[in-house]
Structure 1
Amino acid sequence: MATSSATLERERLLQLAEEYRNQGYEVYFHPSLEDLPNFLKNYRPDMIARRGNEAVIIEVKSRRSLSSSSRQYLQNLAQSVEQHPGWRFELVMTNPEDAVYPPEAEGSLQSSEIETRLQIARQLATQHPESALLYSWSLAEASLRLVAENEGVIVQKLDPHYLVKQLVTEGVISRSEYQVLMNALSLRNVVAHGFKTVQITQESIDQLIDIAEQLLKISHISAESD
């Protein structure tokens, strides 16, 4: 029997709450009006995570639950959050079909292919930052799979959140790299599903590409030591 969208979203929200708590955040599920700042009084986000001066507004959606009205709601919410320093909007998509290779896939990109395409992504970033972000993330994700394979990290599913979490848990990537990747994944989700954002910068794309290149170096070292 197929799992409902609501169940998938709830399970993913619980996983995110655990991840944020492990990073020292205080988590509020479906926050009340008293828990929301004035600029968010007209919204009911799925979750808020707070740590010091940082705050993350989190929405978890599946493709089936994204209607035109919900897209507009999320667009307005993202724009409201972006106007306030220290606040960040995170849209997380949960789709079980994304956790397996599609039938059209002919296998993951290999190291030399990723290296060549990362240079294209750098060039793309100067004029088309949104396209560069989508392309850079796809290459970073391929690099993550490659290093996981060469490091012997057991990956039970291909969900990018899960993949990044496994690699930081295994010590393959640092906490700072983990945060950059999670921020980039959040932005990737916003752009990939048709929302606007002003948070994409040349620096954010460069950081993502730098991490992908570092992952490839780790992968080379692991492969040579086998």
Structure 2
Amino acid sequence: MRNEPAALRALDRARARYEDQGYVVTIEARLPHPFEGFRADAVAQRGSERVIIEVRSADMRNGARNRLKRLSEMVAAEEGWRVDVVTFESEAPLPPPDGGDVVRRIEEARRIADLSPDAAVMLTGSAVEGALRKLDHRRERPQPRLSSSRRLIRELVIDGLLSDAQADRLDKFAQVHNRVRHGLTSPSLDHKELVWPTEFALAVAGGRFVPIEDMIDWFHQHYEPPDVACLFYDSEEGEYMWFGRGPHDVEDVLWEQFEHALESDIGEAAQTLVSEGGREWATRDGV
């Protein structure tokens, strides 16, 4: 859920409505098995009935819709659970950060990293926050006011612009950045832990960052698993008859289409697709 008054008001109205109906409402609830990996804006419970309440902008991106679809499909298989999506109209956004400032701060951080690791963390943190806010402007209605980077990270995950794994990397760095910014003892930081946040910031600043959900969406539009394509499987040979529709290696296709994407992001998208339909896919009919 976005951290803006319209979203909070929508959540408050939903909470009041459910409480009037006799539900006990928990805000920002972690979901139990089998919904690990999802965190609800709220959960309403009445007896054995549980409702996952998700607050979304009326103009949510496809990535957010896909995330909700996956959650809804999982919930539909569990007795006593359902999903309630509450929508709201967003406020006017803040202006986007300058990508040149993001690049400049990364370059300065690299120059002083050996001399002052804390200063490098501060500059990298500033660049990453700028990149996050720049990424936020890929939505039709970005943030209307400044919020913490950790909250923004979570909201970008909800909207499908960041994956859970990307959010974990950014959140871990944000914790280090916050300790240094507030004058606390900074934990030992391996310079390798700065590599991905730095690459992420530069990719966003340069317009090269591709959300993993977008990679997966594109792939689904052009390819399908061989069993879904109804290709003949030769059990004696132990392989499909591709009839000119493949085989296409998932990772090879992603690299060809998204050659400027981050290596770890290509790997994560490929891993998701392989878990869905194997490593080799077929082109869709008519594509």
* TM-score class normalised by the smaller sequence: 0.3 to 0.5
More strand by share: 2
Q: What is the TM-score normalised by the length of structure 2?
A: 0.38
Give the structure with higher Rg (CA): 2
More helix by share: 1
Q: What is the TM-score normalised by the length of structure 1?
A: 0.48
